[in-house]
Structure 1
Amino acid sequence: MTLGAYLIYFAILLIVPLWAQSRVKSTYKKYSKIENSSYMTGAQVARKVLDDNGLFDVQIEEVRGLMTDHYDPRSKTVRLSTNNYHGHSQAAAAVAAHEVGHAIQDAESYAFLRFRHTLVPVASLGSNMSFFLILAGIIMGAGQLFLLGIIFMAAAVLFQVVTLPVEFNASTRAMDQLVSTGIIRSNEERETKKVLNAAALTYVAAAVVALMELLRFVLMYIGMNED
């Protein structure tokens, strides 16, 4: 790669994640100030959607932090950050429904979610080991170590890519549930989609960056073999 190409490459690696994070924060901040029409807290929204889907055993807990919301499949628990747990905003309703979407996926054994779970140990090992192996391969001029590092990195990248359909599907489920249960009105659908789409951008950005990193090392490996 030329110097110009490298500069563009690193600019993209820096700008894309920052842009995605900025978009998420600004969208969340905007719609966290607008109350949802049902005036339900995020915790109430989560409980209603869970109960309507027969998931009475799934618990809801408050968790500290900002935008730390997640679903824990091991303990069958939806954890909502303080603002979303107690808040009555459109953002709180959207985020709560999204996390419940993951709980519904879990209950239905959604294929991509199951696949992602199986990738967790491999992806964790790959993200921790890949750069050490690649660096060792470069320093020692050992192509096999370099290739092994790329394989480990590919496993971590695959996890990022598989995360995309999981997150988009959870958002689709969230919208369907919010509308069908009457938690939001038709005039709120557009705003709710904006919150969900903004959150999805972080996963898209992460996948793009991961794929670009992988491609860069693949090209380096090919160049090493050509030399």
Structure 2
Amino acid sequence: MMMYIIYFAVLMLLPLYAQRKVKKTYTRYSQEYSTSGMTGAEVARKILDQNGLGNVKVEPVDGFLSDHYDPSTKVVRLSTHNFYETSIAGTAVAAHECGHAIQDAEAYSFLTWRSKLVPAANISSNASWIFIMIGMIATFKPLMLVGIILLAIGVLFQVVTLPVEFDASKRAMRQIDQLGIINNEEYPKAKKVLTAAALTYVAAAATAVMELARLVLIYTGMGNRED
């Protein structure tokens, strides 16, 4: 019983806490303007140029915290507010996405692995539950095992994402510090934004691992019932 309580706590509460934390932290520091007076777009452009990445474009994109780096087109896309405004939060987020661009340029191993996993993870995440549900309903272990293996690919993607995100944030903080984009007072504030954002990835990985573990236990339990 205690195991299931812990499972549901992780599955339900951790993602909610992470989402609430990142939204609260981002909202707070998106209202504090940086002393540099640089917009997120300008921050991104400066970091990219200083790292010899003049070929990487910076574009605005609709949505709340929809910021991302697209390695296939070499484009850093910043949500509209971060692109045009001069907030501490926008500075941190823009620098983080540039961190991914630098990873890409340096062929950072975890980013390379994650990119290779994307097609398989997209397919396996959708297909896994079909096999799992049919296997559970029909009590047919081979089908459920196929589903678990497919799900494990998606879990691996979530786990590999963690070092990619942590490293991008580390690079981001180093860049905005060394380039004088933020001052000593703003540094811990920018770090709080990226730490809160990283928590969402930790929550996603934790819930994915817990769900996989639960299904493995169900699978082994099916074997016990057949015996």
Q: Do both share a fold (TM > 0.5)?
A: yes
Shift of 1:126: 1.4
Q: What is the alpha-carbon distance in structure 2 between the residues aligned to residue 169 and residue 101 of structure 1?
A: 8
Shift of 1:5: 4.1
Write the mapping of 1:108-127 to structure 2, written as runs, cut at 5 A: 108-127=106-125
Q: TM-score, normalised by structure 2?
A: 0.97
Q: What is the alpha-carbon distance in structure 1 between the residues aligned to residue 172 and residue 3 of structure 2?
A: 41
> Do structure 1's residue 70 and structure 2's residue 33 form an aligned pair?
no
> Do structure 1's residue 21 and structure 2's residue 23 form an aligned pair?
no
Shift of 1:177: 0.3
Shift of 1:186: 1.6
- Of the three residues 178, 181, 189, the one matched with 1:180 is 178
CA contact (8 A) 2:131 2:146 kept: yes
Name 2:157's counterpart in structure 1: 159
> Do structure 1's residue 195 and structure 2's residue 182 form an aligned pair?
no
- Stretch of structure 1 that moved more, 185-194 or 8-17: 8-17
How many residues align? The count is: 225
- Of the three residues 134, 137, 150, the one matched with 1:136 is 134
Matched residue SS, 1:40? coil
- Of the three residues 21, 38, 41, the one matched with 2:39 is 41
**Cα deviation code 1:91-148 (max 9, x no counterpart):** 0000000000000000000000000011111111210111110111111111011111
What letter is aligned with 1:99? E
CA contact (8 A) 2:10 2:206 kept: no
What letter is aligned with 2:76? V
Matched residue SS, 2:36? coil
Matched residue SS, 1:61? strand
Q: What is the alpha-carbon distance in structure 1 between the residues aligned to residue 206 and residue 140 of structure 2?
A: 28
What letter is aligned with 1:170? A
Shift of 1:14: 1.1
The answer for unaligned runs of 5 or more in structure 1 is none
